[in-house]
Amino acid sequence: MGDLRARLSVVLVDDDAAVRDALGLVLSLHGYRTRSFATAEDLLGAADASWVGCVVADLRMPGRSGLDLGAELIARGITMPLIIITAHGDVASARAAFRLNAVDFLEKPFDDDQLIESIETAFGREVARLEASGARDQRERSLTLLSPREREIALLVASGMRNQAIAEKLAISPRTVEVHKARVMEKLGVRGLDELILKVRP
């Protein structure tokens, strides 16, 4: 988790330079890495799907709003959690923010602790997403080491099927299933059934 955490940054988007500077200073004092942008368009021109962390965006800005920004980021496959800040909060805007899976909707003036708490919630969500994505990538890399038949048997084993049932399903002998399982375990570097299941289970 430490390595993942080190990759995260807080992306600040607010057309008020004084607000950007103040928030940037507060966050840097708390050890956060930050990137600052004056408009949603500026961020959209720079961001890509490799960015991880969270976005803290003002609701009302020249050009696209914070809500427009959140929707466009999702459309581009950039799934960093969103925190909306605003001096003009209303129920409809808050609902719209949470429909975009926003972590929080903070009305100005808010205190530093509120913002830090929201960022920590966002970072927790982001780390969980990255860990899940890493596990999926590792699983796919593991499965590419196997032949089609080995992969088939490994997935059936991971689903909880016993050797006899696998043999009947694939019209092969239980002994052949055992041979394939042994090869799968050797190729994947696992020593037992539990490790094998963890390695290949969807």
Contacts 24+ apart (CB under 8 A), 133-142: 138/199, 139/199, 139/200, 139/201, 139/202, 142/188, 142/199, 142/200
The model's confidence at residue 115, banded by pLDDT at 50, 70 and 90, is very high
- Quick one: pLDDT band at residue 2, thresholds 50, 70, 90? low
Residue 140 lies in a domain: no
Query: Where does a domain end: 81, 110, 135?
Result: 135
Query: What is the torsion angle, in degrees rounded to the nearest 10, for the CA atoms of residue 91, residue 97, residue 103 and residue 107?
Result: -50
Residues 101 and 16 in one domain: yes
pLDDT at 148 over 80: yes
pLDDT category at 142 given cuts 50, 70, 90 is confident
Report how far residue 104's alpha carbon sits from residue 70's, in angstroms, rounded to the nearest whole number. Answer: 13
Total domains in the chain come to: 2
Task: Provide the domain limits for residue 13.
Answer: 2-135
Q: Do 9 and 89 belong together in one domain?
A: yes
Do 12 and 66 have their domain in common?
A: yes
Where is average pLDDT lowest: 28-32, 49-53, 62-66? 49-53
CATH code, domain with 176:
1.10.10.10
Region 30-34: what's the mean pLDDT?
A: 95
